[in-house]
Amino acid sequence: MDAEKYVNAIGREIKCTGKKKKEIKKQLLADIHMRMKQGEGLEEIISQMGTAREIADGFNENRSQKEQKCYVRNKVLKTVISILVLLVFLSLLTYWMIPKTYDIEKSRYFHREQVESAIKETIELLDAEDYTALQKNAVPQMKSLLNAETIEEVKRGISDDWGERKLFGSMYMVELVQKNRHFAVGEITVTYENASVTYRLTYDEDMKFAGIYMR
């Protein structure tokens, strides 16, 4: 252990204001360097002075009442500030993570006509069971879900026999922002011969197919 590490260890144990602690550390270091210049070895000096905790305890016991109050006040203040900073950080993190929706007409990333066309095309490909084309325009996380087995299982949960598609209903869409990522989300009810199915489809900023929900 060198002189600075020894003095820093003492400083960590002293309970006083930062200004006072700086003065104590400066004086201790000056005293040690003076003794070393006079020929004493550092180990001998440290042995005579005592451990960092012993020296700090001596300073702490001799603190004035004013110094004690200042230390307690500063410690409480630091704790409160730390808690406030943490709360602000958590609030910002929560806000950043929670999905937020905006009017797609005001989006800088999506155009209503483009999203509407993509939604209808995706539904047509699903009806045609063209999973190769669907996977080609999907984000990597979606590719494993776009297969006959998975989609047919979802379809059977709605109806065993949908029949032919008859009519596209009205379409609703929004821009969704989460974690600084932008998505277009559209919902439309499609009428088939034997079922009425509501699709909610999601696309990323590159208009890649990024999510599907059917009910």
User: 130: domain CATH number?
Assistant: 3.10.450.590
What pLDDT does 99 receive? 79
Range of the domain at 15: 3-96
Please check whether residues 160 and 128 belong to one and the same domain.
yes
Residue 88 and residue 108 in one domain: no
Distance CA 181, CA 177 (A): 5
Q: What is the pLDDT of residues 169-180, one digit of tens each?
A: 999 999 999 888
Stretch 60-73: mean pLDDT: 67
Instruction: Return mean pLDDT, the chain.
Output: 84
Are residues 24 and 87 located together in one domain of the fold? yes
Instruction: Report pLDDT for 203.
Output: 96
Number of domains in the chain: 2
| Residues 140-147, mean pLDDT to the nearest whole number | 90
What φ, ψ does residue 62 adopt, rounded to 5°? Answer: -100, 10
Its pTM stands at: 0.58
Average pLDDT over residues 134-150: 92
**For residues 201 and 171, what is the distance between their CA atoms, to the nearest angstrom?**
11
My answer on whether 86 and 106 are in the same domain is no
Q: How far apart are CA 11 and CA 7, in angstroms?
A: 6
- Please tell me whether residues 208 and 125 are part of one structural domain: yes
Are 81 and 124 members of one domain?
no
Last residue of a domain, one of 96, 112, 137: 96
Identify the domain boundary among 73, 96, 119: 96
Residues 116 and 60 in one domain: no
Residues 81, 30, single domain; the answer is yes
Per-residue pLDDT at 134 exceeds 60: yes
| Single residue among 78, 96, 114 that ends a domain in this structure | 96
Residue (of 118, 150, 120, 147) closest to 132 by Cα position: 147
